[in-house]
Amino acid sequence: MKVAKFGGSSVANGTQIKKVAEIIKQDQKRKFVVVSAPGKRYADDVKITDLLIAMGETYIKGEQYEGYYADVLARFKEIINELELDLALYAEIEKSIKTVLTEDLPDGMKLDRIKALGEDNSAKIVSSYLCKIGLNARYINPKEAGIIVSDDPGNAQILPESFDKIYQLRDVDGILVIPGFFGYTKEGKLVTFSRGGSDITGAIIAAGVKAEMYENFTDVNSVYTVNPAIVNNPKEISVLTYREMRELSYAGFSVFHDEALIPAIKEKIPICIKNTNNPKAKGTFVVAERELDDHVVSGIASDSGFVIIYVSKYLMNREIGFGRKLLQILEDERISFEHAPSGIDDMSVIIRERNLPPEKEEIVLRRIKEELHPDTVSLQRGIALIMVVGEGLVNTIGVAKQAVSAISNAKINIEMINQGSSEVSMMFGIKEEDLEPAVRSLYQSFFE
């Protein structure tokens, strides 16, 4: 049995949903279908979820919400017309939206219920269409599916007892179409996951039914070895391990949300990333372990927008507690740091710029000076990180040399190398303006 999850672009309109239906028809193992809300039909389009959020927020504030309301309904109507579905379904959708809007509920609860309308109605449309073309399909509400979550609106966490209940879905007849993005508390209250939560639902269902595969349908043929915005037509990756995927997605590979995958990863369910628009393409498999072939490096990820705080103090390494105190200051200020490479008398902390706004910067620098009495503290913005990722990298002589040479040969100064703390990646810090030539040089060296 497989779980097939279709993202927003895969269900954006009738044409796309027909592709989805064809995909489901092609493989009888695709018993569990998880859908997002209709996404963008073209680059400048607005996702239904964003329309719903705007509608909900304006409604709650007592502002003009009617325009958003009309837009949402128009989107659903267009899809239903295109698929030539029964107009009773449209009436049902319209009613579901009106009911949620006008129900007497606390604001937080209402907003979560409004946000969930996109996925919920998307699932109803897809299951109707599957039935229309002769498949034995049915819509399953997350409550019925057994997705029991914590009461954290917008950030629900799955409760462990869910999985046994979900496992029983295996015995339900036919194709089950489940809306992504939300679950229910034990008390029956609807709560949404964090943004991108359809991936979470997919991973939960895959883990719960112990699927042989979790297929993640999106709009790219595969995961690429490098960002296609930097290198034209880069090679595709056929197999990745979970931790390679995690290291790649950390630094700019945004194929899906890495946190979302935890349930599937825990159960070691193989994940396949495929393209709804080109389902014959092999896609990229993400698995627990892979054979190490001649390709040690799987991919090169990169991201900019980092800042480094350098702290140096003579004899720092003799001072028990210095590093801990530095990290404590960041924790006190609720700043999550990315890495903290340290030398003998130096420690540097790398933080995403968005996590260190100017007012926090001032507080942090002042506290470091006052509480740690360092010899120097300095801060460098405009740092980019490059991750060279590959299983087996830790035991392969010469990869570091090849990577460092590729960057140096592009006449780029390496601000930072962090190798060995991760078994599957090597990290380089460079100036943001050097990012593209560095990545291109690395790509050439490892993949051309």
Q: 228: which residues sit within 8 A by CB, 6+ positions away?
A: 234
For residues 171 to 210, the per-residue mask of contacts with its own copies, x marking binding by CB under 8 A and - elsewhere, is ----------------------------------------
Q: Give me the 347-366 binding string for its own copies, x by CB under 8 A, dash otherwise.
A: xx------------------
Helix axes 322-332, 358-372, angle to 10 degrees: 150
Q: How far is the CB of 170 from its own copies (least distance, A)?
A: 27
For its own copies, the closer of residues 60 and 400 by Cβ is: 400
The contact mask relative to its own copies for 306-325 (x = CB under 8 A, - = no) is ----x-x-xx-xxxxx-xx-
Pair type for strands 30-35 and 2-6: parallel
Q: Is 388 in the site for its own copies (CB under 8 A)?
A: no
The rounded Cα 402 to chain-centroid distance in angstroms is: 31
Q: Which is nearer to its own copies, 74 or 315 (CB)?
A: 315
First-to-last C-alpha distance (Å) of the chain: 38
Q: Which of 328, 362, 371, 433 lies at the binding interface for its own copies (CB under 8 A)?
A: 328
Distances (CA, A) of 84 to 125, 128, 133, 385: 11, 10, 11, 50
- Helix intervals (H) in 259-314: 262-266
**379 contacts its own copies (rule: CB under 8 A):** no
Per-residue CA distances from 374 to 207, 214, 320, 367, 446 (Å)? 49, 51, 14, 11, 41
Residue 119 known to bind ligand? yes
Element holding 272 (H helix, E strand): strand 271-275
Piece of 7-15, 161-169, 270-278, 334-342 that binds its own copies (CB under 8 A) = 334-342
Selected range binding its own copies among 121-129, 188-196, 246-254, 268-276, rule: CB under 8 A: 246-254
8 is known to lie in a ligand binding site: yes
Q: Which is nearer to its own copies, 60 or 404 (CB)?
A: 404
Told to check if 334 binds its own copies by CB under 8 A, we report yes
The H or E element containing residue 2 is strand 2-6
431 near its own copies, rule: CB under 8 A:
no
Distances 371 to 190, 270, 366, 374 between C-alpha atoms, Å: 46, 48, 8, 9
**What Å distances lie between residue 254 and 166, 196, 223, 257, 288, CA to CA?**
28, 11, 9, 7, 20
Q: Any contact of residue 427 with its own copies (CB under 8 A)?
A: yes
Residue of 53, 238, 396, 432 interacting with its own copies (CB under 8 A)? 396
CA distance linking residue 380 with residue 307, whole number of Å: 6
Q: Shortest Cβ distance from residue 364 to its own copies (Å)?
A: 14
Q: How far apart, in whole angstroms, are the C-alpha atoms of residue 50 and residue 68?
A: 9
Confirm whether residue 193 is marked as ligand binding: no
Task: Work out whether 422 is an interface residue with its own copies (CB under 8 A).
Answer: yes
Q: Is 219 annotated as ligand-binding? A: yes
Q: Are 378 and 312 in contact (CB under 8 A)?
A: no
Nearer to its own copies by C-beta: 26 or 408? 408
Is 241 annotated for ligand binding? no
- In whole angstroms, the minimum distance from the beta carbon of 409 to its own copies comes to 8
Nearer to its own copies among residue 382 and residue 420 (C-beta): 420
Q: How far is the CB of 204 from its own copies (least distance, A)?
A: 16
d(CA 121, CA 117): 6
DSSP bridge partners of 285: 239, 272
From the CB of 423, what's the least distance to its own copies, in Å? 7
Binding site for its own copies (CB under 8 A): 243, 246-247, 250, 258-259, 262, 265, 310, 312, 314-315, 317-321, 323-324, 327-328, 330-331, 334-348, 394-398, 400-401, 404-405, 407-409, 411-423, 425-427, 429
User: Where is the binding site for ATP, in residues?
Assistant: 5-8, 218-219, 224
User: Where is the binding site, in residues?
Assistant: 5-8, 49, 119, 218-219, 224
